[in-house]
Chain A
Amino acid sequence: MSLIDEDQELVAAAINGSANAWEKLVKRYEGKIYNQGLRLMGNSSDAMDLTQEVFLGLYRNLHRFRGDAKFSTWIFRIAHNKAIDLSRRNRFLPSRTQIEMQEEIDALEAVHGASSFEPEKAIGELQQNNQIARILGKLSIEQRLVVELKVFQSLTFEEIAIMQDVSANTVKTRFYAALKKLKAVSEEYYALP
């Protein structure tokens, strides 16, 4: 059975009250949504807020899901709209990325023992991710979403255009502007002493 069919079966079972099916469905997508949240929101607590809101929205609208669209497209659309809501709500709040990064590194260092766990590797990955999130944070939410959908979700310009309710040309322009901005921001970063 294909992943798409499995998604549909899980949705149907969850609608009929199977907690097991619901949990499977959440497990299948929570990682993607959470990491998308980290890239879009720039810190783990907002990413977790996004994840919870996406799945709550999904739960409330589960009965509206029709088999004609891919479930993954549907859930990413919910995530897309929630990310816009959330970033508008947070617009006047200071970015938490910097503080959180240090906190997370501290937590990782506290956790590491004489084990197979490789704290240096984990910290390295975390720093790299934080660097990416910080650079993405310089983009407008619209640009960030185009980058997210194009680079990380591998959607076509046409698909993004439908999701954002704009023309494909607008999406292309946004993507180009976003890449140029990313280039400028990373140059600025590496130019720093």
Chain B
Amino acid sequence: MPCPKTEYLIQEYFADDLAPVAREEIEVHFNSCEYCSNELEVLLRSQSDLSQWQDQQVPHWDRGMELFRREHSVINEGRGFWSGWQWISTAVSLAMLAVLLLNVNVVSNEEGFSISFDALGAQNAYLDARMLAFEQGQKEAMDALVQRIEDSQEGNNIELLQVVMEQAQQTTIENLEVIYAYFERQRLQDLEDMRVGYQELVDNDFATIRSLQQIAQFISYQGEIR
């Protein structure tokens, strides 16, 4: 027959911080009360069924590494991919573009500097050509970069396929892990290539801008002697 103490006693029984004396008392009751001992047995079985759990392997994931590297690259390298440097060239480009499009003349004479917006005739054709060349150069550099990334991706995929074919002979969970790791490494390598490529592009911009600066100086010099 049901026992009024079951619930309380079993709850206490599962507490780890139960005083030894109290535990002894509970066990004395369980030994004499069939209802309580049956109930305890069934619940202990439920609990031990749960501990049949076999830990499963975690599927491959990036472990937050990309986020971590991205957010710490500025501190580590001083000049990470997303640090301020690259924007300098863009800012200079914009300023130069304004100078070119508006045909601004910076003329220095005895009264100081003067800025004028009049067309410079002969120089305009030359500047247009330079602008075109500048744009063309930008486009070519970008296309080359994209091509390089695509090529390396393709190369990786072929290589990856070979690895997968080899591994397929003896596929185990470990091997899959190796393939994943390999793929992840390739992906990071591609990112690094992209970064280097972009840096080169930025450096090219600097070279172009320096030559544009020389033109601007030339223009203002022309304006001065006129």
A residues within 8 Å of B by Cβ?
14, 17, 19, 22-23, 26-27, 30-31, 34-35, 38-39, 44, 48, 51-52, 55-56, 59, 111-113, 115-117, 125-126, 128-129, 132, 135-136, 147, 150-152, 156-158, 172-173, 175-176, 179-180, 182-183, 186
B58 at the interface (CB under 8 A from A): yes
Contact B15 A172 (CB under 8 A): yes
Q: Could you tell me the distance between the alpha carbons of A56 and B75 in the complex, rounded to whole angstroms?
A: 20
Q: At the interface with chain A, which of B40-48, B134-142, B151-159?
A: B40-48
Closest 10 CB pairs of A and B: A17-B72, A172-B11, A125-B54, A26-B63, A182-B46, A34-B58, A179-B43, A117-B172, A183-B46, A156-B16
Contact B17 A113 (CB under 8 A): no
Contact A117 B11 (CB under 8 A): no
Q: Could you tell me the distance between the alpha carbons of A83 and B59 in the complex, rounded to whole angstroms?
A: 19
Count of B interface residues, CB-CB < 8 Å: 41
Q: B7 contacts which chain A residues (CB < 8 A)?
A: 176
How many interface contacts (CB-CB < 8 Å) are there between A and B? 116
Q: Could you tell me the distance between the alpha carbons of A135 and B50 in the complex, rounded to whole angstroms?
A: 9
Extra inter-chain contacts (16) besides given A34-B58, A132-B53, CB under 8 Å: A30-B63, A34-B56, A34-B59, A52-B61, A111-B171, A117-B172, A125-B56, A129-B53, A132-B50, A132-B52, A135-B49, A173-B11, A176-B11, A180-B43, A182-B49, A182-B50
Contact A117 B50 (CB under 8 A): no
